[in-house]
Amino acid sequence: MRAVEAAEVAPATYAWEIRAEALKVRVGRRKMAVDGLDLSLGKGVHGLLGPNGAGKTTLIRALATVLRPASGTLTLLGGTELRALRRRIGYLPQNFGYYKRFTVREFVEYLAWLKEMSKEDIPGAVQRAIERVGLADRANDRMRTLSGGMVRRVGIAQAIVNDPDILLLDEPTAGLDPAQRVRFRELMQELGQDSCVLISTHLVEDVATACTDVVLFADGKLVFQGSPAELAAAGSADDVGDSPIERGYSALLKHEPGKGAW
């Protein structure tokens, strides 16, 4: 089993940016964190919701080609050679490391270099990515001087610097203040016009505002996929939550095995 199909396919020939069939991904020797997933995602902004331990981070890591599937099929961008594929993916882990002595610009430049962007394209792409996350005035500041929210925004900048066809973000709004989260949602809607954006988050309001599609995940399995409006319609006044989409989320999860007390 290979993490990604190896056949080279022209971009116009594939229907889905991400397609998983009977996908299983193991964490450690025994636990199957993703268990028989069938999922297709195209261009747009997709929200990945689920309780702690649902397998969301494991799924994101598999889609980023960091983890290899135990079985099943995972096809990204129609199938392409792994090294070439990684140039077309943007990925922000839940926790990412960085060199504290690097400036913001140096860090994003370094990640652009790792993604094998051309030397001529890097300066302009780095400047554009930094501006898009609202850090142009801090571009020459060292990473160690930034607040937690600013570091997260640098993480988003490195993820989008290569204008990826697939953008994978794990808890991207952690540490952002309300105004920054609004700007983040606007940026995701902009990027989703040309890319497949998948956002793993615990913040249901981010999904309701920014996403065109919601994937609800529990115990390594797909519970629901549909629009935010369809998720909201799954709930009732008797379900837990302060908003219709939160009540829909609660309603769907309480029917899953082991989730009745959630």
Query: Residue 101 has what pLDDT?
Result: 95
| DSSP category for residue 195 | S
213, 222 in Cβ contact below 8 A? no
pLDDT in tens, the chain (262 residues): 344 443 333 344 577 999 999 999 998 877 899 999 999 999 999 999 999 889 999 999 999 999 999 999 999 999 878 999 999 999 999 988 999 999 999 999 999 999 999 999 999 999 999 999 999 999 999 999 999 999 999 999 999 999 999 999 999 998 899 999 999 999 999 999 999 999 998 888 888 888 999 999 999 999 999 999 999 999 999 999 999 999 999 999 986 544 433 3
Residue from 108, 18, 96 nearest 57 by CA: 96
Compute the 3-state secondary structure of the chain and give helix, strand, coil in percent, each to the nearest 5.
35, 25, 40
Residue from 211, 204, 248 nearest 41 by CA: 211
Could you tell me which residues are beta bridge partners of residue 167? 90, 197
44, 196 in Cβ contact below 8 A? yes
Query: Residue 29 has what pLDDT?
Result: 75
**Cβ atoms within 10 Å, residue 153:** 25
Residues 188, 184: Cα–Cα separation, whole Å: 6
**Cβ atoms within 10 Å, residue 120:** 8
**Cβ atoms within 10 Å, residue 230:** 14
Residue carrying the six token digits 């989409």? 245
Residues 74, 108: Cα–Cα separation, whole Å: 29
